[in-house]
Amino acid sequence: MADVTQIRRPERMERIATPAQAQAFIEEQIAALREQIGDKKVLLALSGGVDSSVVAALLIKAVGKQLVCVHVNHGLLRKGEPEQVIKVFRDQMDANLVYVDATDRFLDKLAGVTDPEQKRKIIGGEFIEVFAEEARKLDGIEFLAQGTIWPDILESEAGVKAHHNAGGLPDDLKFELVEPVRILFKDEVRVVGKALGLPAGMVYRQPFPGPGLGVRCPGAITRDRLEAVRESDAILREEFASAGLEGKVWQYFTVVPDFKSTGVKDGKRSFEWPVIIRAINTKDAMTATVENIPFELMQKLTARITSEVEGVNRVLYDFTPKPCATIEYE
């Protein structure tokens, strides 16, 4: 059997941009996946992000119930995300989906941890542990599917970053890799996802960091402040969608810093957190400019967030480009 991790994007491969090209790629991949996997079982960590979702949809078409998807909810996902993964993959695509709500595990481990790098390490390490535990409960898995894409390979070859997909699992879990989108660029993955019938909200999703809302709740994460991040993020996404900005602004989110300020609510003194709105545009996330949000939309966001999100009495806008600020806060 050829080692699929050696497969490279052919130099003259046409960029997949049309439904017909996507369909041809899908059919080719289904045949290749069936040949590689045979009647064996495949495991996939399904985050709900574009790449893993497209890999899941391809594998469901190719090998159906031989695929076991594991969706780990680390408690740092956006509002509605775990529900969407369950709805799309278990209910609509009839996938074999193991849903693990590990919120308490993650938040207990993160309690009191203020250092950003430490927080990231805990989230990454715990993720692998939860996933490995689920993998050990399953019998007869021989393959591990991953949403590695072509830029991951190029960046790891260029030494820009170790591409996070490869492995990380403990030594007792050795699987052969399945990487059906490894020769695709991100825009091609989206076209293929659309052709596979995935919802637009999943296919055209803005980038979302692995450590999730954890990096938008700076300092030690508490459940109440995390909830304020999640709720304000949901309002921002809703309002950007109604204003026609969804898909136009590259990335937008809210941050709730760990300080409080004085305000007045219902004629009484309040002492609550601010919500910071961040909305940026970029090509490659190396540099970024700030979106010019219309003032009326800013006013609407402020009114909704201060009245609907518990524990919040101010809304601020981050005007800082990258550099000198990074896009995320931690």
Residues that bind ligand XMP (CB under 6 A): 207, 209-211, 251, 285, 322, 326-328
Q: What letter would DSSP give residue 308?
A: H
Least Cβ distance, residue 278 to ligand XMP (angstroms)? 10
Least Cβ distance, residue 327 to ligand XMP (angstroms)? 3
* Distances, alpha carbon 98 to alpha carbons 8, 23, 70, 90, 147, in Å: 32, 28, 5, 9, 18
Q: Toward ligand XMP, which CB reaches closer, 272 or 291? A: 291
Half-sphere CA count of 39, side-chain side, radius 13 A: 0
Both tokens assigned to 283: 């090509």
DSSP calls for 166-223:
S--S-TT---EEE-TTTT--HHHHHHHHHHTT--HHHHTPPP--TTGGGGGS-SS--H
Least Cβ distance, residue 56 to ligand XMP (angstroms)? 18
Least Cβ distance, residue 30 to ligand XMP (angstroms)? 28
Least Cβ distance, residue 287 to ligand XMP (angstroms)? 9
Q: Which residue has the tokens 């590689």?
A: 36
**Spatial CB neighbours of 226, under 8 Å, sequence gap ≥ 6:** 75, 76, 107, 213, 217
Q: Hey, how many other C-beta atoms are within 10 angstroms of the C-beta on 315?
A: 20
Q: Toward ligand XMP, which CB reaches closer, 96 or 254? A: 254
Least Cβ distance, residue 78 to ligand XMP (angstroms)? 12
Q: Toward ligand XMP, which CB reaches closer, 251 or 270? A: 251
CA dist 44 and 50 (Å) reads 14
Q: Toward ligand XMP, which CB reaches closer, 193 or 211? A: 211
Q: Toward ligand XMP, which CB reaches closer, 210 or 311? A: 210
Q: Toward ligand XMP, which CB reaches closer, 60 or 236? A: 236
| Nearest to 180, CA basis, from 142, 218, 225, 146 | 146
**Spatial CB neighbours of 292, under 8 Å, sequence gap ≥ 6:** none
Least Cβ distance, residue 85 to ligand XMP (angstroms)? 17
| Runs of H (alpha helix) within the chain | 19-37, 50-63, 81-85, 103-110, 116-137, 150-157, 186-195, 200-203, 223-242, 295-308
In one letter, which amino acid is 238?
E
In one letter, which amino acid is 41?
K
Least Cβ distance, residue 120 to ligand XMP (angstroms)? 6
Q: Toward ligand XMP, which CB reaches closer, 205 or 225? A: 205
Q: Toward ligand XMP, which CB reaches closer, 257 or 263? A: 257
Distance between alpha carbon 38 and the CA centroid of its chain, in Å?
30
